[in-house]
């Protein structure tokens, strides 16, 4: 609902003439629910900035938050809610920061109780609602972009392929394996096999918190794909609980070698490749 032109002017006038009590009341309301998580000076600065932007927009004749004249107000609101989202305030707290203006306005209007004033208040209130919703939307968008960034970082971070020995590479899997991650792991492992010409790969699942049928499916697919390319995979790092889950779920690893620890897997591969290890007399004993 848009304001009419003179409603907008009247709201502008009201905000200008009662600037002091309105901002003070506004600040108090916000401060009450934030309980000191934001410094008083910072809060006052934010409120004054919002107030100035509103007065500015209204004096230019903005009748709607989407109007041309309210561009700067929108920018200030967006900045306000982005800041709140980054600092970990909840969506309600952010939106209430704007809605608090209503209470502040109401308290300044209380003195005179004509029908006109009531109508004005309802119109102003609709405008403030718009501002609140806008804040809300920006808040959610900021949070979503934060989450997307983090998911991407996680994906890049968590799938290294390391070379253990000449012709042996290992993938230490850490964290839950979903389809997207499994795909990344699979591609990176197979590409490393080609690049390094390694005929053996060890998939270590010590860091995988739970293995269900889907995770097992992903691992099996990787192993079969590696076999198609002419490389053998060994699965290691199977914890006792996971071994029980695998059996309980009836997952068949077939003829794929499984080992309890990465060390066992490496020893197994070294034996297959014909590498012999022997223990020299240790220096400590000498």
Partner 1 sequence: MERVPILKIGDILLVSIQVDMSDQTAVALQEDLAERIVATGCHGVIIDITALDIVDSFVGRMLSTIASISRVLDAETVVVGMRPAVAITLVELGLSLNGIRTALNVERGMELIAIERADDDHDEPDDDPVPEPTASP
What residues line the site for partner 1 (CB under 8 A)?
167, 186-187, 190-191, 193-194, 197-200, 221, 224-232, 272-275
Q: How far is the CB of 136 from partner 1 (least distance, A)?
A: 42
Angle of CA points 126, 132, 133, to nearest 5°? 90
The minimum distance between CB 197 and partner 1, in angstroms, equals: 5
Write down the least CB distance from residue 182 to partner 1, Å.
Answer: 11
Q: Which is nearer to partner 1, 156 or 276 (CB)?
A: 276
For residue 91, count other CB atoms closer than 10 A to its CB: 15
Q: Provide the minimum distance between the beta carbon of 35 and partner 1 in the complex, in angstroms, as a whole number.
A: 53
- For residue 68, what is the DSSP state? G
Written as six digits, the tokens of 109 are 């209007």
Nearer to partner 1, 34 or 275 (CB): 275
- Rank residues 229 and 243 by Cβ distance to partner 1 and give the closer one: 229
> Closest separation between CB of residue 189 and partner 1, Å?
8
Of 27 and 192, nearer to partner 1 (C-beta) is: 192
**Residues 80, 68: contact at Cβ < 8 Å?**
no
| 267 burial type by CB count under 10 A (0-12 exposed, 13-18 middle, 19+ buried) | middle
Q: In this structure, what DSSP letter does residue 197 have?
A: T
CB of 259 to partner 1, least distance (A): 16
Nearest CA among 203, 214, 206 for reference residue 240: 206
**How near is the Cβ of 101 to partner 1 at its closest, in Å?**
56
Percent of the chain as helix, strand, coil, to the nearest 5: 65, 10, 25
Which CB, 101 or 170, lies closer to partner 1? Answer: 170
Q: Taking a C-beta distance cutoff of 8 angstroms, is the pair 238, 205 a contact?
A: yes
Q: Which is nearer to partner 1, 163 or 221 (CB)?
A: 221
Q: Between residues 105 and 223, which has the closer beta carbon with respect to partner 1?
A: 223
Q: Where are the alpha helices (DSSP H) in 158-251?
A: 179-196, 213-228, 240-249
Structure tokens at 14: 């009201």
C-alpha to C-alpha distances, 192 to 159, 170, 195, 251, nearest whole angstrom = 12, 10, 5, 27
Q: How far is the CB of 224 from partner 1 (least distance, A)?
A: 5
- CA dihedral of 158, 163, 164, 165, whole degrees rounded to 10: 170
Instruction: Closer to partner 1 by CB, 49 or 195: give it.
Output: 195
């Amino acid at each position: 609902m848009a304001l009419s032109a003179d409603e907008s002017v009247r709201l502008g006038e009201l905000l200008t003439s009662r600037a002091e009590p309105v901002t003070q009341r506004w600040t108090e309301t916000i401060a009450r629910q934030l309980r000191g998580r934001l410094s008083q000076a910072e809060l006052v600065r934010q409120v004054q900035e919002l107030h100035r932007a509103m007065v500015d927009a209204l004096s230019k004749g903005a009748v709607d938050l989407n109007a041309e004249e309210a561009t700067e107000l929108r920018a200030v609101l967006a900045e306000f809610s982005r800041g709140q989202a980054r600092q970990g305030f909840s969506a309600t707290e952010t939106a209430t920061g704007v809605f608090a203006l209503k209470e502040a306005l109401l308290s300044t209007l209380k003195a005179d109780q004509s029908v006109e004033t009531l109508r004005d208040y309802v119109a102003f209130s609709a405008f403030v609602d718009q501002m609140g919703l806008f804040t809300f939307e920006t808040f959610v968008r900021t949070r979503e972009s934060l989450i997307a960034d983090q998911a991407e970082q996680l994906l890049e971070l968590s799938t290294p392929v390391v070379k253990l020995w000449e012709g042996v590479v290992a993938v230490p899997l850490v964290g839950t394996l979903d389809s997207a991650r499994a795909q990344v792991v699979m591609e990176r492992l197979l590409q490393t096999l080609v690049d390094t010409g390694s005929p053996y790969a060890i998939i270590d699942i010590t860091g995988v918190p739970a293995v269900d049928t889907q995770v097992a499916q992903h691992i099996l697919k990787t192993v079969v794909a590696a076999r198609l390319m002419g490389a053998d995979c060994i699965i290691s790092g199977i914890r006792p609980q996971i071994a029980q889950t695998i059996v309980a779920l009836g997952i068949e690893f077939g003829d794929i070698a499984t080992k309890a620890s990465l060390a066992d897997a490496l020893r197994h591969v070294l034996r297959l490749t014909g590498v012999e290890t022997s223990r020299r007399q240790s220096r400590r004993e000498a």
